[in-house]
Amino acid sequence: MIILRNSIVIFFVVVCFQNAEAQYNVQDTTIAALLIDFQFTLHNPGGDLADRFGSFASIGGSIGRKTEKNWYFGIEGNYIFGSQVKELDMLDAFVDDNGLLLGLAGVFPDVSAQMRGFNLSFNVGKTIPLFGPNDNSGIYISAGVGFLEHKIKFQDPINEVPMLASQDYAQGYDRLCNGVMLSQFVGYRYMGNRRLLNFIIGFDFRQGFTASRRDFDYDTGFRNTDQRVDLLYGLKAGFTLPLYKRAPEEFYYY
């Protein structure tokens, strides 16, 4: 994470330096700029991921350089969260004959299971000028390579089930998986002439080639060595903050 943070800082400084002397008029020029995206995505799972989780969401952002040729190079990161967990067989050891979860005091504890995770990627994209107020807007496509991680997080507010409430023990039940990820995006990028409205919207696709990262699962007593193919697809929308130096207004007097 330290390497990633330093890389982002260096990337930001270099891009800002390169743009420091440039002045642009977005309306009639294809500009170079630093683009910072703040984004939200609604995902549906596929592949092995669909056996473990239902629909979920992610929130995050990206920072990258858009060139005067409408190419884009950037870094993206997203925090993943959801409340639909399908794979709960690891709780069988904590339920009674009626399938009800029991706590220390013999009551039914308020335990919930959540999806948590994140992804990081380096992306290359291209804007094709169409349907916009200027040549910086249009159909946007991108592809990337990065890292995907996900797990099951148990919430036990009053610690009625110590094996799930304790972070050390919960690791034996959380099904932590991570691995290499590929990503693709097809959508539309809009850059306004006056920098007041800038956004991105479209379809997001990701493929994670992951595996379990726990030494073994407590409920089975074995290590899961299966290789997974985790698919994510959904709708992404985001607000863009473009950083560039606007050309001064020109006035002509007769």
Structural domain includes residue 252: no
Say which CATH number the domain at 74 has.
2.40.160.20
So what's the pLDDT on residue 165?
64
pLDDT digits (tens, 9 = 90+) for 36-62: 999 999 999 999 999 999 999 999 999
Structural domain includes residue 253: no
Annotate 105-157 with DSSP letters as a single string.
Answer: TSS----EEEEEEEEEEEEEEEEEE-SSSSTT-EEEEEEEEEEEEEEEEEE-T
Q: How far apart are CA 121 and CA 160, in angstroms?
A: 39
| Cβ-proximal residues to 129 (8 Å cutoff; 6+ apart), any chain | 30, 70, 135, 136, 137, 138
- What is the number of residues in the chain? 254
Structural domain includes residue 80: yes
Task: Report angle CA 46, 47, 48 to the nearest 5 degrees.
Answer: 115
Q: What is the mean pLDDT of the chain?
A: 84
| Cβ-proximal residues to 187 (8 Å cutoff; 6+ apart), any chain | 139, 140, 141, 200, 201, 202, 203, 236
Structural domain includes residue 251: no
Lowest mean pLDDT among 23-37, 133-147, 172-186, 210-224: 23-37
Total domains in the chain come to: 1
Structural domain includes residue 112: yes
Domain coverage including residue 192? 2-246
Structural domain includes residue 72: yes
pLDDT digits (tens, 9 = 90+) for 126-181: 999 988 899 999 999 999 999 999 999 988 766 667 667 677 778 888 999 999 99
Instruction: List strand residue ranges (DSSP E) for the chain, in order.
Output: 23-24, 33-47, 56-66, 71-82, 112-129, 138-155, 177-191, 198-212, 227-243, 245-246
Structural domain includes residue 136: yes
Distances (CA, A) of 223 to 178, 213, 216, 219, 220: 15, 9, 4, 10, 8
Of residues 146 and 221, which shows the higher confidence score?
146
Structural domain includes residue 64: yes
